[in-house]
């Protein structure tokens, strides 16, 4: 099993350009997440999808949109990239249960995005 | 609001010694879960250990153990017999319960992390 995969691994954009980060999981998980990681800030939740067909805002949703295409795939779109969106982006997935290790999140390898 | 605090931005430990990484949390939810993740320099996030708020015993996974003190709201990670490969960022996280469409969803809130360096 590949687990959680993300594409691309690296990307450089100019201010104002748009792009979509792709994420897919093969663990049949209901829930999927997008985080950004900035130096000294830990991981902050951008958007999440508790189940196919639903999406909700996390802590830092401004400037982003998401699509839960099907149970496997969850994409993150930057419509007009800004330098403040330079970051490492992680996708993750988990079961939606509330108790125990079922809430363990499995992470993709990350996308390093630079906006000039 | 729920919050995770890791007060040690960086720590050093001698190889083969034990080290404790601190984590305190704040929540009014009686049911919660606490996680530790490791992030080596290669960047991937690796799950280490989990502690549930109702678990009677402290969690252990190989060389990792969690010193869970519920009254103090702390969930410190203890790494025994440190190895050079333990050099990494370590993140404490707590499950946050959010409502969604008539049900609930458990998201994770992360601390800012502790950078551990193991010296030979």
Q: What is the pLDDT along chain A (116 residues), one digit of tens a residue?
A: 689 999 999 999 999 999 999 999 999 998 899 999 998 888 999 999 988 888 989 889 999 999 998 999 999 999 999 999 999 999 999 886 555 566 788 999 999 999 99
How is residue A75 written in tokens? 């994409």
Answer for the pair A94, A84: CB distance below 8 angstroms, yes or no: no
User: Could you tell me the maximum CA-CA distance found in chain B, to the nearest angstrom?
Assistant: 53
Interface residue of A23, A50, A52 to substitute, partner B, most B CBs within 10 Å:
A50
Distance of CA B33 to the CA centre of its chain: 10
What tens digit of pLDDT does each residue of B44-61 get?
999 999 998 888 899 999
How is residue B31 written in tokens? 């049911």
Segment 39-68 of chain B within 8 Å of chain A by CB: 43-45, 47, 50, 52
pLDDT at A13: 96
Nearest CA distance, B87 vs chain A (angstrom): 17
Closest to A97 in 3D by CA, of B109, B42, B106: B106
What does each C-alpha distance from B84 to A18, B3, B39, B63, B117 come to in angstroms? 41, 31, 14, 14, 8
């Amino acid at each position: 099993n590949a687990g959680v995969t993300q594409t691309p691994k690296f990307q450089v954009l100019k201010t104002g350009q748009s792009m979509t980060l792709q994420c897919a999981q093969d663990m049949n998980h209901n829930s999927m997440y997008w985080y950004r990681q900035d130096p000294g800030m830990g991981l902050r939740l951008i958007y999440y999808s508790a189940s196919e067909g639903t999406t909700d805002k996390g802590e830092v949703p401004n400037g982003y949109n998401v699509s839960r295409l099907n149970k496997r795939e969850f994409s993150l779109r930057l419509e007009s990239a800004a330098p403040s969106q330079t970051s490492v982006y992680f996708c993750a997935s988990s079961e939606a249960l509330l108790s125990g290790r079922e809430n363990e999140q499995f992470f993709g390898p990350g996308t390093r995005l630079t906006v000039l | 609001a729920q919050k995770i605090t890791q007060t040690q931005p960086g720590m050093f430990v001698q190889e083969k010694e034990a080290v404790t990484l601190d984590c305190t949390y704040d929540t009014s939810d009686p049911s919660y879960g606490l996680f530790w993740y490791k992030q080596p320099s290669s960047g991937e996030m690796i799950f280490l250990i989990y502690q549930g708020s109702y678990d009677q015993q402290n969690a252990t996974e190989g060389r990792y153990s969690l010193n869970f003190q519920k009254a103090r709201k702390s969930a410190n990670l203890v790494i025994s017999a440190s190895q050079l490969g333990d050099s990494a960022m370590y993140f404490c996280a707590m499950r946050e319960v959010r409502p969604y469409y008539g049900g609930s969803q458990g998201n994770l809130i992360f601390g800012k992390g502790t950078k551990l360096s193991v010296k030979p």
